[in-house]
């Protein structure tokens, strides 16, 4: 078995473990006002067509090919609701914040492995303010934290979603769980950290996009 296949299989097992830890996905209909309206809007037709093609790709082969042809940092991202998996290459780094992008310019922005924003996915997360959560999760400490997630809505404005979070170890060794609430909205993120950064995770993007699994293929 090659190193690439072994790395991907290990990452896949860790992602499966994170998925088993998280069983909360009750965000539908819970965001008031314009944010809820934005969540009900349909995905663009072109995005649907691209998603269907990506969904048919074999993740293991995709990872192996990406590692062979691209020598820079890489992540693999699975969008659970869309049923797609893609490899994203790092295209920029600024102040510890990395931008990873697909060939069709869909992007995730990560800070120390924590999701800080998305671009080109539709109903994008403009920015996530989660310094308190990040510090606790990456150090493996329990505690309470607040995070604010800001979204672009149909009227071109940025709307904040404030969450109160409880952070602690999950039922599986090495997994940290972040349970967050805002009224009836409840989400649960799962993380595995190494060397002070998150390397495998299951993180909630927003009410329309749902959860993403993120695996570091090359740091």
pLDDT band at 188 (very low <50, low <70, confident <90, very high): very high
The position carrying tokens 């931008």 is 99
| pTM (two decimals) | 0.77
**In this predicted structure, what is the pLDDT of residue 133?**
97
pLDDT tens digit sequence for 42-51: 444 444 544 4
pLDDT at 34 > cutoff 70? no
Q: Kindly indicate the confidence band of residue 62, based on its pLDDT and cuts at 50, 70 and 90.
A: confident
Q: CB under 8 Å to 45, separation ≥6 — which residues?
A: none
Q: Confidence band (pLDDT; 50, 70, 90) for 57?
A: low
| Mean pLDDT confidence for 155-181 | 96
Give the domain 3-218 fold. Answer: YmcC-like fold (2.40.360)
Of 113, 93, 90, nearest in space to 102 by CA = 90
Residue 49, SS3?
A: helix
Domain boundaries, the chain: 3-218
pLDDT tens, position by position, 102-117: 999 999 999 999 999 9
Q: Which residues contact 91 (CB under 8 A, 6 or more apart)?
A: 99, 100, 101, 107
Mean pLDDT, the chain, whole residue set: 84
Q: How many CB atoms lie within 10 A of CB 107?
A: 17
Q: In this structure, are residues 176 and 21 in contact, taking their beta carbons and an 8 Å threshold? A: no
Integer CA distances (angstroms), 176 to 9, 96, 150, 156, 168, in order: 21, 22, 23, 35, 6
């Amino acid at each position: 078995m090659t190193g690439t296949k072994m790395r991907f299989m290990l990452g896949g097992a860790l992602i499966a473990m994170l998925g088993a830890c998280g069983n909360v996905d009750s965000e539908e209909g819970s965001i008031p006002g314009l944010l809820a309206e934005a969540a009900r809007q349909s995905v663009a037709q072109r995005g649907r067509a691209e998603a269907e093609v990506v969904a048919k790709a074999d993740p293991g082969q995709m990872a192996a090919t990406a590692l062979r042809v691209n020598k820079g940092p890489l992540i693999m991202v699975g969008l659970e609701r869309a049923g797609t998996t893609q490899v994203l290459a790092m295209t920029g780094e600024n102040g510890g914040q990395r931008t990873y992008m697909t060939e069709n310019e869909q992007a995730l922005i990560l800070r120390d492995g924590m999701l800080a924003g998305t671009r080109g996915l539709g109903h994008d997360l403009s920015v996530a303010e989660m310094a308190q959560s990040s510090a606790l999760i990456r150090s493996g400490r329990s505690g309470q934290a607040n995070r604010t997630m800001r979204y672009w809505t149909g009227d071109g404005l940025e709307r904040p979603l404030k969450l109160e979070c409880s952070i602690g170890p999950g039922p599986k060794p090495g997994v940290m769980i972040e349970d967050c609430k805002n009224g009836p909205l409840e989400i649960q993120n799962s993380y595995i950290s190494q060397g002070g950064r998150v390397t495998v995770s299951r993180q909630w993007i927003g009410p329309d996009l749902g959860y993403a699994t993120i695996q570091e293929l090359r740091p």
